[in-house]
Amino acid sequence: MAYQKLWNVISLYLSATATIFHYLKSSSSSLLKINWASIFFRIPDTLVALYYRLCGLSPCTVDIDDQTTIHFWTANHRRFDKPSLVMVHGYGGNSLWQFVLQVGPLSRNFNLYLPDLMFFGKSYTNRSDRSESFQARCVVEGLKKLGVDRFSVYGISYGGFVVYRMAEMCPETVEKVVIVSSGVVWNDLQKAELLRENSNALEILVAQTPRNLRLLVSRSIYKYDVFKWVPDYVLQKLIDANNENTKEKLELLEHLVAKKADPSLPILSQETLIIWGDQDNVFPLYMAYQLQRHLGPKSKVHIIKDTGHAANFDSPDIINVLIKSFVLGV
């Protein structure tokens, strides 16, 4: 299977990196002064960025105001015979990696816009607001400055909370909504129960140890064990090389967990497709139907078998087909 081969390549790369690190540790002191971890772990980023460019996307940075900057991957040449699709990543990474298995197929049918949310990738703000509504306003304002006036949205996990708010605040701008694996309508009792079952959830989501990183991946991806052959000291180097804005990311989570559920959460006016994996270990399957009941007849649910929380990695082909069929109406 093509995606299994991809995971094998990733695992092989990390294992090879482990071998090289071991060699360097036994080499001369002058070699050890070089930050090899930063070099090795930036190579995959460079390759994925090159792939995005081959798919017709380019990186750009937009200043929202004098305190906030948002980074996008955007369509090079907007084709007006294609609809625009905004893809909003979840908490476990930025736009570069979370959609690597989807950008190629979807770029054939859509003008794609992939923002990095605040404190992920190259997006940053000095403002203190940590709400998903603030994230949504930043994305919407960035799109306005890029001249994108009508679009559909697709958000996964934390990104689902953000696109929900985008659709709420811009009913005339957002055409259709796709929400994947996102407990947008969880109530306070459900939230408390999930936190009891996962008492160290924040530590795992902001993984600072190899053990927590392995737990994060195993709870998210059902079909593959990405780090099976990767030693802990390489995972620690990987964590250290990507250890940016940790405090702010933790504040985002704390806000999401601490805030009271909104009993008057608006019902979206847009048609909405809800996609869930039947093996989701983060937001239980019943939340998909709970969201559908809240949204009413303009929403529908599709459950993907043998798929975990990170459905974008477990079953990207199925999600791509569902998005194209729903947004294009074919």
Question: How far apart are the C-alpha atoms of 70 and 159, rounded to whole Å?
Answer: 15
- Tell me what pLDDT residue 125 has: 98
The backbone torsions φ and ψ at residue 249, rounded to the nearest 5 degrees and listed phi first, read -65, -40
Residue 67: CATH number of its domain: 3.40.50.1820
Residue 8 has pLDDT above 90, yes or no: no
48 CB-near residues (< 8 Å, 6+ apart)? 96, 97, 100
Instruction: Annotate 232-271 with b (16+ C-beta within 10 A) or e (fewer).
Output: eebbebbbebbeeeeeebbebbeebeeeeeeeeeeebebb
Task: Report in angstroms the alpha-carbon separations of 10 from 16, 62, 208, 213, 229.
Answer: 10, 32, 20, 15, 10
d(C-alpha 40, C-alpha 42), whole Å: 6
3-state secondary structure of 116: coil
pLDDT of residue 39: 67
Domain membership of residue 120 (yes or no) is yes
Find the domain containing 141 and state its range.
44-328
Q: What is the mean pLDDT of the chain?
A: 88
Looking at the structure of the chain, the number of domains it has is: 1
The predicted-structure confidence for 251-273, as pLDDT tens digits, reads as follows 999 999 888 878 789 999 999 99
Give per-residue burial for 126-158: e unless 16+ CB within 10 Å, then b.
Answer: eeeebebebbbbbbbbbbeebebeebbbbbbbb
Helix or strand run (H / E) with residue 294: helix 286-295
- In the predicted structure, residue 5 carries a pLDDT above the cut 50: no
Dist CA 241 CA 246 (whole Å): 12
Which tens digits make up the pLDDT trace of 270-313? 999 999 999 999 999 999 999 999 999 999 999 999 999 999 99
List, in sequence order, the alpha helices (H) in 99-179.
Answer: 103-107, 132-145, 158-169
Q: Residue 47 corresponds to which tokens in the numbers above?
A: 């390759």
Task: Provide the pLDDT for residue 47.
Answer: 86
Q: Quick one: pLDDT at residue 224?
A: 87
Question: Please, are residues 283 and 309 in contact by the beta-carbon 8 Å criterion?
Answer: yes
Apex CA 110: angle with CA 112 and CA 116, to 5°? 15
Question: Residue 149 has what pLDDT?
Answer: 92
Give me the helix-helix angle, 2-25 and 36-54, nearest 10°. Answer: 150
Inside any domain, residue 5: no
Q: Is residue 22 part of a domain?
A: no
Would residue 9 count as lying in a domain? Answer: no
- Domain assignment of residue 289, yes or no: yes
Is 2 among the domain residues? Answer: no
> Do the domain assignments include residue 261?
yes
Q: How many residues does the chain have?
A: 330
Binning pLDDT at 50, 70 and 90, where does residue 98 land?
A: very high
> Tokens 């082909």 belong to which residue?
317
User: Is 14 inside a domain boundary?
Assistant: no
